[in-house]
C-alpha cells in the first residue's frame, strides 16, 4: 500500500482509501517553468503508482496561468493527461485528495506532497524530453534537481543503453519477473514514491545473472511507473 509523507505534518499517510475508492490527484503550479514541470512529473508518478495498486485516479491541474504551455510541457514529458477544471470529470464526494505542490507552495486542506525546485537555466531547445524525464526522476523529489549538461548526458547514455538492452533481451524466451525483484520494486515506489531506488534496482538487474527474458519483463514492469518507453527499440536491428 502506497504511503507518502504529508508535507503539512511530516508524517507518513496512506495515499488511497482502503476501500480503493477514487483518489483525486491535484497538481498545483502558479505558471510554466521547469520546476512546475517537475511538480507535474511527480503527480504523474503518483497517478501511475496508484493505478498499479488498483486505485482509480483522477488527475487535475490547478495552475494560475500559462495553461497551454503547462499542458504541452507535461505531454512532452510523457505524463498522463490532466484535467483543467474542477467542474468536469467524475464526482469526488468521498474521494481521497492528494495535492502535489512546489516546495513552499500552498494548496487546500488535504494530504500534500512537496516537490523541490529544479536548478537549471532552462531545457535546451533540442532536448529529448524522455532524457529530461529520466534526469528529473533520478533525484529524490524533496531534493533540488540539477538539470545541467552532466545530468542530461548521463540520463541520455542510460536511456540509450537500457532501450538497446531491452530490445536485445526481448529476443529471448520470456521469463516472469522474479518475486524478489518485483517485491523490491513495489517496496521502493510504495515507500514515499522512492523512484531513485527503483532506478537502482534496474541497474542491479541490468548487471545481474537473471535470465534475459526475466530482465526484459522486469524493465517492462518498472516502465509502467517510469514512463520512459524502454521498449521503444523492440524489433530494430541488433
Query: What CATH number is associated with residue 198?
Result: 1.20.120
For residues 9 and 99, membership in a common domain is answered with yes
Is residue 15 domain-shared with residue 91, that is, in the same domain? Answer: yes
Inter-residue contact 133 to 78 (CB < 8 Å): yes
**Residue entry with cell 523492440:** 234
Lowest mean pLDDT among 20-24, 43-47, 83-87, 172-176: 83-87
Q: Are residues 110 and 28 in the same domain?
A: yes
For the segment 146-155, the average pLDDT, to the nearest whole number, is 92
In the chain, the largest separation of any two C-alpha atoms, in whole Å, equals: 53
pLDDT of residue 79: 95
Angle at alpha carbon of residue 102, lines to 100 and 104, rounded to 5°: 115
Q: Could you tell me the CA-to-CA distances from 129 to 10, 34, 115, 125, 162 in Å, in that order?
A: 32, 12, 19, 10, 16
Q: What is the pLDDT of residues 124-140, one digit of tens each?
A: 888 899 999 999 999 99
Q: Average pLDDT for residues 158-173, to the nearest whole number?
A: 97
Residue 190 is part of which domain span?
153-226
The per-residue pLDDT for 85 is 58
| Statement to judge: residues 166 and 100 lie in one domain | no
In a domain, 123, yes or no: no
Residue 143 forms part of a structural domain: no
Q: Which of 68, 95, 115 delimits the end of a domain?
A: 115
The 3-class secondary structure across 88-100, one letter per residue, is CCCCCCCCEEEEE
Per the CB < 8 A criterion, the answer to whether 163 and 233 are in contact is yes
Return phi, psi of residue 60, to 5°: -130, 135
In a domain, 146, yes or no: no
SS3 57: strand
Share of the chain above pLDDT 70, in %: 92
User: pLDDT tens for residues 25-42?
Assistant: 999 998 889 999 999 999
Domains held by the chain: number: 2
User: Does 236 map to a domain?
Assistant: no
* Residue at a domain's end among 115, 133, 163: 115
Asked whether residue 8 falls in the same domain as residue 111, the answer is yes
**190 CB burial (10 A radius; 0-12, 13-18, 19+):** middle
- Please tell me the distance from the alpha carbon of residue 26 to that of residue 24, in angstroms, as a whole number: 6
Tell me if 170 is assigned to some domain: yes
Q: Are 162 and 202 in contact (CB under 8 A)?
A: yes
Within a domain: residue 231? no
Q: Is residue 122 part of a domain?
A: no
pLDDT at 20 over 70: no
* Grid cell 483522477 in the structure block, residue: 58
Identify the domain boundary among 89, 115, 141: 115
20 and 107 inside one domain: yes
| Residue 133: closest CA among 102, 166, 165, 155 | 155
Of all residues in the chain, what percent carry a pLDDT higher than 90?
68
Report in angstroms the alpha-carbon separations of 195 from 81, 141, 226: 21, 9, 8
80 and 172 belong to one structural domain: no
Q: Could you tell me if 108 and 9 lie in one domain?
A: yes
pLDDT at 179: 97
Shared-domain flag, residues 11 and 83 = yes
Residue 110 lies in a domain: yes
Q: What span, in angstroms and rounded, lies between the C-alpha atoms of 134 and 1? A: 25
Q: What are the cell numbers at 217?
A: 519483463
Identify the CATH number of the domain in which residue 38 sits: 3.40.50
Amino acid at each position: 500500500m502506497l504511503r507518502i509523507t504529508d508535507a503539512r505534518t511530516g508524517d507518513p499517510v496512506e495515499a488511497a482509501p482502503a476501500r480503493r475508492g477514487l483518489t483525486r490527484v491535484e497538481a498545483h503550479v502558479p505558471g510554466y517553468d521547469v520546476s512546475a514541470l517537475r511538480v507535474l512529473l511527480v503527480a504523474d508518478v503518483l497517478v501511475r503508482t496508484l493505478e498499479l495498486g488498483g486505485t482509480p485516479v483522477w488527475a487535475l491541474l490547478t495552475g494560475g496561468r500559462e495553461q497551454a504551455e503547462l499542458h504541452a510541457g507535461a505531454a512532452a514529458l510523457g505524463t498522463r493527461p490532466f484535467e483543467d477544471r474542477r467542474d468536469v470529470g467524475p464526482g469526488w464526494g468521498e474521494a481521497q485528495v492528494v495535492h502535489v505542490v512546489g516546495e513552499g507552495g500552498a494548496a487546500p486542506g488535504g494530504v500534500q506532497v512537496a516537490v523541490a525546485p529544479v536548478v537549471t537555466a532552462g531545457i535546451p531547445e533540442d532536448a529529448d524530453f524522455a532524457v529530461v524525464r529520466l534526469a528529473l526522476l533520478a533525484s529524490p523529489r524533496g531534493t533540488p534537481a540539477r538539470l545541467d549538461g552532466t545530468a542530461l548526458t548521463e540520463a541520455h547514455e542510460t536511456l540509450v543503453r537500457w532501450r538497446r538492452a531491452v530490445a536485445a533481451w526481448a529476443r529471448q524466451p520470456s521469463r516472469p519477473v522474479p518475486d524478489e525483484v518485483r517485491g523490491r520494486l513495489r517496496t521502493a515506489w510504495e515507500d514515499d514514491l522512492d523512484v531513485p531506488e527503483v532506478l537502482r534496482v534496474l541497474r542491479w538487474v541490468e548487471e545481474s545473472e537473471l535470465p534475459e527474458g526475466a530482465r526484459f519483463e522486469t524493465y517492462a514492469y518498472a516502465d509502467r511507473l517510469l514512463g520512459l518507453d524502454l521498449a521503444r527499440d523492440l524489433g530494430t536491428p541488433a
